[in-house]
Structure 1
Amino acid sequence: MINYRIKSVGGYSERIGELVSMLEHTRAVTLKEIKGLTQKDLDYPTDEGSNSIGALLMHIASIEFVHQVITFEERDINKVEFLKWQAALELGQQARHTIKLNQLDFYLNELALIRERTLSQLKSYNDDWLFEERQWDNGVKHNCYYLWFHVLEDEISHRGQIRIIKRRLLQNNQ
């Protein structure tokens, strides 16, 4: 059952526990939205330039992975990591050609593995870490709280796209 309250999750500092609550709520709603989708549903393009639900799920996983690297390891992804995640990160034509023919369990597993690491790593940080000032090479300042907020907003945004694709699927199956 989905919890509709933001509360600090035990085992984490207060604000990180609240962040975990939001991450887990967001994921629970996403998982509910994709429950029961077939491989054909996951690969369905609404038009020749659109992303599939499967590609969007891999994008959600890739964004969380990148933010793990940036916040936990304090670096950018390397060439090997970029090559692994490139299609999912960039979406578009490459994703349409390479992210397909997978069953739902494949995507659920990818999302779960990435999330497991996030939750494990967050246990070793405190609330001050969330507000730690950092700066990218281009001079733009940021903090870890914003980066994890972006993980949330990205998943929520793409879940909206998933809902639109599902509506189109229903219309085409009638």
Structure 2
Amino acid sequence: MRNHLFILLCLVVALTASAQRVIKAEDGFTPNVGVLVSMLNDMKDRVERTVKDLEVDEIDFLLDENANSIGTLVLHLAATEKFYQVYTFQNREFNDKEKEIWGTRMSMGEKARKLHKGKPISYYLDIYNDVRKKTLEYLKEKDDKWLATVPEGYRMNNHWSWYHVMEHQSSHLGQILLLKKRIP
């Protein structure tokens, strides 16, 4: 009996692990947009799993005087995604009001180090989640033809723009993981 339970447990673990490595289109989207959404959501989930249990002092940890905190990096991910919402869905860049809200989050640096601290991880993740929610609303209205479109005056198609958002998240996830390992 024990062997059967052990084999069943191993099978469940194996099936679960293999299912996590399947990229497929999310329901409610056209095929290529749905695959992109699946990958964007997977990357965002990885960021969230990495930071969700951190305390304020861990979120605010700075590796050195020029580093960005984990909180700042999460806000930076949200700001970058917000920029690409405006860039791809509205064919423009940030206006002055948006620059005021998102500028420091985009550029990070000294001003961000002073401004983005002392808040729980839920503060940062709520902003990130709100931005993603809007991205998904926009993407539900788009199709694979839109994804392949190079907007007039631009050098990249919409697919490349959103691929960049995803790889940007991946890059900063690496920084977040490094910072998390160095927290004293």
Given the two structures, how large is their TM-score scaled by the length of structure 1?
A: 0.92
SS in 2 for 1:44: coil
Partner letter of residue 97 of structure 2? Answer: V
Give the Cα–Cα distance (whole angstroms) in 2 for the partners of residues 164 and 126 of structure 1.
Answer: 37
Give the count of matched residue pairs.
167
SS in 1 for 2:178: helix
1:71-110 counterparts in 2 under 5 A? 71-110=88-127
SS in 2 for 1:134: coil
Q: Does 1:118 align with 2:132?
A: no
1:12 to partner: Cα distance: 0.3
1:122-161 counterparts in 2 under 5 A? 122-136=139-153, 141-161=155-175
Matched with 1:165 is 179
Contact kept? 1:3, 1:25, Cα under 8 Å = no
In structure 2, runs of 5+ residues without a counterpart are 1-15
1:133 to partner: Cα distance: 1.4
1:135 to partner: Cα distance: 4.7
Give the Cα–Cα distance (whole angstroms) in 1 for the partners of residues 152 and 46 of structure 2.
Answer: 33
1:75 to partner: Cα distance: 1.1
Contact kept? 2:91, 2:151, Cα under 8 Å = no
Contact kept? 1:135, 1:142, Cα under 8 Å = no
Given the two structures, how large is their TM-score scaled by the length of structure 2?
A: 0.87
The percent identity for this pair of structures is 34
Give the Cα–Cα distance (whole angstroms) in 1 for the partners of residues 152 and 117 of structure 2.
Answer: 37
Give the Cα–Cα distance (whole angstroms) in 1 for the partners of residues 107 and 130 of structure 2.
Answer: 21
1:86 to partner: Cα distance: 1.2
Give the Cα–Cα distance (whole angstroms) in 2 for the partners of residues 96 and 4 of structure 1.
Answer: 36
1:41-80 counterparts in 2 under 5 A? 41-80=58-97
SS in 2 for 1:20: helix
Runs of 4+ residues over 3 Å off in structure 1 = none
More helix by share: 2
Q: Deviations over 1:59-88 (max 9, x none)?
A: 000000000001111111101101111111
1:134 to partner: Cα distance: 2.3
Matched with 1:39 is 56
Note the aligned Cα RMSD (angstroms). 1.4
SS in 1 for 2:156: strand
SS in 2 for 1:45: coil
